[in-house]
Structure 1
Amino acid sequence: MISIDGVSQTFKGKSGPVEAIRDISLTIGEGEFLTVIGRSGCGKSTLLRMVAGLLKPTKGEVRVAGEVVREPRRDVAMVFQKPALLPWRSVEDNIMLPVEIFGRRKADHRAQVDRLLETTGLTAFRKRLPHELSGGMQQRVSLCRALIQNPKVMLMDEPFSALDALTREELAVELQRIHMDLGTTIVFVTHSIQEAVLLADRVAVLSSRPGQVRRLVEIPIPRPRSFGHNAHMDQVAGVSAELHSLLLSDTHLPKTSTL
């Protein structure tokens, strides 16, 4: 579904060029849930923006469904750290925003809005304004707004990082369930090893800047997964420890990291 081929990104800085990402190659399969972790400044968000078509690579190319990404695509949705809801629009009107932007008939999507509201526990809040919602509920609205597009790919840039620990856990479990139901290809950037293990089929561990794929870790733990007591706690602990060790021992890499 997503092919990243020899992608590098260099920005112009005040004191000279800043190499954010160097020669990353990675293939993400249809319906796969890939999480990306790494230290701050390693280029995680930069990589996501290139897949979204918001930033052109300095070198290499990104393809989605076989087509080179040159600009934002209608079948690729992005969820950011902050919900960025329009404060004067109700919950359901915020969810409908992409429908209006793309010139589609709102009547054709009302049943889908109802399903999304029910799935995320927002049915009773459909007429509320954003300031009447908690942070977690606002992020649920943002998730619904992305899903109303029926995206082939959903890109998520630390969407739960501003929330309290319990709300983060609840939303991570909910996102896992939505992914299992819909099978959307998801690339999820996070600083949380727990989130990465709970959600991912694979975890891409990036090195410090310039970001390269240091290791691709398979998560062979049966779904559904949870943070609580379960039959797979030993596996969760083992994978988490491996990721923790990789992040702690981050060192310079060879020039190319290809997976």
Structure 2
Amino acid sequence: MIQLTGVSRTFTGRSGTVEALRGIDLTVAEGEFVAVVGRSGCGKSTLLRLVAGLLPATDGSVVVGGEQVVRARRDIAMLFQRPALLPWRSVLDNVLLPVEIFGWRRGRHRAKALELLEMVGLGGFEKRLPHELSGGMQQRVSLCRSLIAEPRVMLMDEPFSALDALTREELSVELQRIHMERSATIVFVTHSIDEAILLADRVVVLSPRPGRIRKIVPIDIPRPRSLGRNAHTEQVARCSADLHEVLMEHDAGLGARHRVAPAPAGIGGH
């Protein structure tokens, strides 16, 4: 579904040139959930924007569904850290915003929008305004807005990082359920190792800038998954230890590999 070949991205400005990504080769299968983790500034968000068609690659190619990505596309949705709802529009009207932008018939999608709101636990809130909702509820509305166009690919840039820990875990479980039901292809950027393990089929670890793929860790844990007590606690702990080990290694180009004690599940600031 997604094919990145030799992808690099360099930014040039008044202060000089910054190489954000270098030589990224990555294939994401249809229906796969891939998480991307790494230190702040390693190019995770840049990678998403390249796939979304919001930025051009300096070198290499980005292909989605067999077509080269050269601009933003309707079959690729992107969810950001902040829900960015229009404050004067109701919950339902915010979900239907892409329908209006694409010029589709609102009547045909209204029932679908209500179904999505029901699916994420917001049935009965369709007439509320964003300021009447909690942060977690607003992000659920944003998720419904992303799903209304039935995108083939969903790109998610730390969508839960601004939320409290409990709401973040609840939404992660909700997203896991939606992915299992709808089989969307998802690339999910996060700073949280726990979140990556809970959600992903594979976790891509990027090196410090310029971002390169240091390692891809498969998460072979049966779904549905939970961070609480369950039959897969040992597997979760093993995957977490593997990811911590990779993330805590010094970049190979900076000198000898060095181990440090594992950090908490969140591996750094935004």
| TM-score, L = length of structure 2 | 0.93
Paired letter, 2:104? R
Offset at 1:174?
0.2
Q: Which has the larger displacement, 30-39 or 108-117?
A: 108-117
Offset at 1:253?
4.9
CA distance in 2 between counterparts of 1:96 and 1:61 reads: 33
> Corresponding residue for 2:212?
212
> Corresponding residue for 2:260?
none
Contact 1:9 1:58 in 2 (8 A): yes
Alpha-carbon deviations, 1:37-76, whole Å to 9, x = none?
Answer: 0000000000000000000000011000010000001000
Q: Does 1:170 align with 2:170?
A: yes
Alpha-carbon deviations, 1:131-182, whole Å to 9, x = none?
Answer: 1100000000000000001000000000000000000000000000000000
Offset at 1:125?
1.1
CA distance in 2 between counterparts of 1:252 and 1:74 reads: 39
**Structure 1 residues 103 and 218 mapped into 2: Cα distance closer, same or farther (>3 Å)?**
same
CA distance in 1 between counterparts of 2:133 and 2:30 reads: 34
CA distance in 1 between counterparts of 2:99 and 2:135 reads: 24
Q: Is the partner of 1:123 in helix, strand or coil?
A: coil
Q: Is the partner of 2:112 in helix, strand or coil?
A: helix
Contact 1:160 1:168 in 2 (8 A): yes
Q: Does 1:238 align with 2:238?
A: yes
Which consecutive residues of structure 2, in runs of 5 or more, have no partner in the other structure? 255-270
Contact 2:114 2:126 in 1 (8 A): no
Offset at 1:250?
3.4
CA distance in 1 between counterparts of 2:117 and 2:199 reads: 22
Structure of greater relative contact order (alpha carbons < 8 Å, 6+ residues apart): 1
Alpha-carbon deviations, 1:95-129, whole Å to 9, x = none?
Answer: 00000000000111122112101111111211000
Q: Is the partner of 1:104 in helix, strand or coil?
A: coil
| TM-score, L = length of structure 1 | 0.97
Which consecutive residues of structure 1, in runs of 5 or more, have no partner in the other structure? 255-259
> Corresponding residue for 2:181?
181
Paired letter, 1:224? P
CA distance in 2 between counterparts of 1:127 and 1:250 reads: 51
Paired letter, 1:155? L
Alpha-carbon deviations, 1:1-26, whole Å to 9, x = none?
Answer: 00001000000133321000001010
CA distance in 1 between counterparts of 2:57 and 2:89 reads: 35
Contact 1:207 1:252 in 2 (8 A): no
> Corresponding residue for 1:40?
40
Contact 1:33 1:202 in 2 (8 A): yes
Aligned residues: 254
Contact 1:208 1:250 in 2 (8 A): no
